[in-house]
Chains A and B, each alone.
Chain A
């Protein structure tokens, strides 16, 4: 009888523990600037801060990708020369770069200038920015480029994609695709090391309104585990996740947010490195 009681007690404890482990992320809004189309929040689990989230309304917040520093000392200088620094709301590192060889990894185009034509076979996410818009495609599936009628497959029609980007001055970069069309695309093989994580997602709410969301998880986590956690959070909130990609952290952990929006939970939302160290930057700005 006593053994039975102990057994039942243990099972109850295990159930409670598993339920506790599955506790969802919680978001507390820090700043909300409707005029600028941006909202920041802190992500918590068991009252422990995991990181931050930045919601951006694509109707108000435009995007651009820069990797070629041209004649400037760094990419950030090029951006500040290109637009008013006060217009920049968020700037973050984008794709991976092999710093030893000063070469971006995967297909890379900066405003029509082709920098790398090699399609990385292990990265399915293709981010395209054009005239302030940002779209995430899957390399594995056919897609229509903005303003084009014919679908292309990036693996087979790469030349067509590059010619289009050159002609129309679009920017393209490749990175790991974590979720696409409301399904996770990353396997547990992605759980190699614990590190800070930064994800960019395009989501639709129940009314069909598009949002761009940037997740910055400062607590070290495995890639697949973190992606699943964020994906589940978005699904629970009722969003349709069109796509979610991984952004570079590590030695290129750059994230800067507009001065008026960066304070959150008595802290400042900021990446570890200064933007002047950036090898490439994905910027979100008001026009």
Chain B
């Protein structure tokens, strides 16, 4: 155990080249898998460089090392290090780009490699879940340009976000579509109480206005003797 710990520290001291996945794998391959993942500077690996990842994958598989778990661990580290700052989108844009590169791997690699698709799903799914949760907690303004940008980018990659629609917006849309029968049905069933209250207030308001009008501008003045 101490020996592995010593090796991990030694490699950390030697400044493993995170940007060269293959070289780093070769440096660390004699470690047991868990220690290997622990020692590997996962967050620093440029995942967008699929060419190098492919070499890394081929090498690791030839050595009997678990590539799929390793790639997903790398992505998880990257996601954990991502700053979900909607003021400055740099971090989010970078991770979205990685997701896109991985999800399009079937177009530039000879065969669809499952782990890249799963990796892209981990990225997009993770971002979609976070955005959805922030929207539900009212911590994100859905009208904000940056939020809309991220939502649209997710949508472009087939990850839809359920943005709550207010009843007023729904009403406006139904009016635009001319679905008057549905609107009437909604007012007389679901919102029956509110509808009747509004009608009652309206009628009382009109009667009150009429009464004030009559008081201020009496049509017929009573004859005085």
Contacts and interface: CB of A to CB of B under 8 A. Distances in A.
Interface of A: 98-101, 103-105, 114-121, 158-160, 163, 193-195, 220, 251, 272-273, 277
Contacts of B182: 251, 272-273
B125 A117 contact: yes
Given A99-B173, A159-B114, A159-B117, A120 B162 contact: yes
A79 B170 CA distance: 27
B114 A98 contact: no
B189 interface: yes
B129 interface: yes
B155 A101 contact: yes
Chain A binding surface SS class: mixed
A120 B163 CA distance: 12
Given A100-B169, A101-B163, A195 B190 contact: yes
Contact of B121 (A120, A159, A194, A195): A159
Chain B binding surface SS class: helix
Interface of B: 112, 114, 117-118, 121, 124-125, 128-129, 132, 154-155, 157-163, 165, 169-170, 173-174, 179, 182, 185, 189-190
Nearest to B103: A117
Nearest to B152: A101
A194 to B, nearest CB: 7
16 contacts: A99-B165, A100-B169, A100-B173, A101-B155, A101-B163, A103-B161, A105-B162, A115-B158, A116-B160, A117-B125, A117-B158, A118-B128, A118-B161, A120-B162, A121-B129, A273-B182
Contacts of A115: 158, 160
A101 B154 CA distance: 13
A251 B190 contact: no
A229 B165 CA distance: 30
Given A159-B117, A273-B182, A98 B158 contact: no
Given A101-B163, A105-B162, A159-B118, A251 B170 contact: yes
Contacts of B190: 193-195, 220
A117 B165 contact: no
Contacts of A220: 189-190
Given A117-B125, A251-B174, A272 B185 contact: yes
B117 A100 contact: no
Given A99-B165, A163-B114, A158 B185 contact: no
B162 A98 contact: yes
Contacts of A114: 158
Most chain A beta-carbon neighbours within 10 Å: one of B128, B129, B154, B160 = B160
A98 B160 contact: yes
Contact of A105 (B129, B159, B160): B160
A102 B175 CA distance: 17
A47 B96 CA distance: 58
Contacts of A194: 190
B162 A117 contact: no
A101 B173 contact: no
B79 to A, nearest CB: 16
Contacts of B118: 159
Contacts of B185: 272
B170 A158 contact: no
A238 B79 CA distance: 50
A100 B163 contact: yes
A279 B125 CA distance: 24
Nearest to A99: B173
Contacts of A273: 182
B158 A116 contact: yes
Given A220-B190, A251-B182, A118 B125 contact: yes
Top 5 nearest A-B pairs by Cβ distance?
A: A103-B160, A116-B160, A159-B118, A105-B162, A118-B128
A80 B129 CA distance: 37
Contacts of B173: 99-100
Contacts of A104: 160
A193 B189 CA distance: 12
A118 B159 contact: yes
